């Protein structure tokens, strides 16, 4: 049984490397500390960062999302107020961006009763959009997969984050 498991892990790692899914873990101390503070898996936080920015703190999307976790400035201001903090925001600062993005991911997980699929879909597509899908019964409150997510970009985001979460769990089992 152990040999079979080890072989499976080895195959997954070789597949990840061969197809460009090697998963570096920069900012690991900040990610781990912040994830634990927000009661999140550091593997999920690292996977979100990998998918959103490929660990580039200076990343800016064509829609204006900034930093490692690709936060919109207006959302970041809202998060800051919800956290009871104030002051200038530097979304290119890795620690600031990881703290705000992790707080928001925890908020979404609480909003969707621990359902990571819905929380990730809301992180990417917005909570109003996910609420609309739930109201229209396009998605279920117990949704686990990404296949029924109507927006291809959001479905792909959820799929990739979950895949990288698995890769990080295997590669960085000691975190």
61 has pLDDT over 80: yes
Q: Into how many domains does the chain fold?
A: 1
Q: Can you tell me which residue has the tokens 């002051």? A: 87
Residue 52 annotated in active site: yes
Question: With contact defined as beta carbons under 8 Å apart, do 22 and 54 qualify?
Answer: no
Residues near 115 by beta carbon (within 8 Å), at least 6 away in sequence = 109, 141, 142, 143, 144
For 63-105, write each residue's pLDDT tens digit: 999 999 999 999 999 999 999 998 889 999 999 999 999 999 9
- The answer to whether position 144 is within a domain reads yes
- The answer to whether position 19 is within a domain reads no
- The answer to whether position 76 is within a domain reads yes
Q: Residue 14 — pLDDT band, cuts 50, 70, 90? A: low
Q: Can you tell me which residue has the tokens 């109003």? A: 128
- The answer to whether position 8 is within a domain reads no
Q: What is the rounded CA–CA span in Å between residue 120 and residue 117? A: 5
- The answer to whether position 16 is within a domain reads no
20 has pLDDT over 60: no
- The answer to whether position 121 is within a domain reads yes
Q: What is the rounded CA–CA span in Å between residue 109 and residue 140? A: 15
Question: With contact defined as beta carbons under 8 Å apart, do 17 and 11 qualify?
Answer: no
Of the candidates 52, 143, 153, 165, the residue annotated as catalytic is 52
18 has pLDDT over 70: no
Identify which of 57, 80, 81, 79 has the alpha carbon closest to the alpha carbon of residue 69. Answer: 57
- The answer to whether position 11 is within a domain reads no
Q: How is residue 166 written in tokens?
A: 């698995």
Q: 144, exposed or middle or buried, with CB in 10 Å at 0-12, 13-18, 19+? A: exposed
Q: How is residue 33 written in tokens?
A: 């500390």
For 43-54, write each residue's pLDDT tens digit: 999 999 999 999
Q: State which residues form the domain around 141.
A: 24-171
For 124-164, write each residue's pLDDT tens digit: 999 999 999 999 999 999 999 999 999 999 999 999 999 99
Secondary structure (3-state) at 7: helix
- The answer to whether position 12 is within a domain reads no
Q: What is the rounded CA–CA span in Å between residue 21 and residue 163? A: 9
Question: With contact defined as beta carbons under 8 Å apart, do 46 and 69 qualify?
Answer: no
CATH number, position 56? 1.10.530.10
Q: Can you tell me which residue has the tokens 């809301």? A: 122
pLDDT value of position 165: 94
């Amino acid at each position: 049984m152990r040999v079979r498991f080890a072989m499976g892990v080895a195959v997954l790692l070789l597949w990840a490397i061969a197809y460009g899914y090697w998963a570096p873990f920069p900012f690991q101390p900040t990610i781990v500390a912040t994830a634990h503070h927000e009661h999140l898996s550091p593997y999920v936080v690292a996977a979100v960062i990998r998918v959103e920015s490929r660990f580039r703190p200076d990343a800016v999307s064509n829609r204006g999302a900034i930093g490692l976790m690709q936060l919109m400035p207006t959302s970041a201001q809202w998060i800051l107020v919800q956290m009871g903090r104030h002051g200038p925001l530097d979304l290119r600062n890795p620690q600031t961006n990881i703290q705000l993005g992790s707080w928001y991911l925890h908020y979404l997980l609480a909003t969707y009763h621990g359902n990571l699929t819905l929380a990730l879909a809301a992180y990417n597509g917005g909570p109003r959009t996910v609420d609309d899908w739930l109201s229209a019964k396009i998605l279920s409150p117990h949704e686990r997969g990404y296949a029924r997510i109507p927006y291809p970009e959001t479905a792909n985001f959820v799929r990739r984050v979950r895949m990288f979460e698995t890769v990080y769990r295997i590669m960085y089992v000691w975190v």
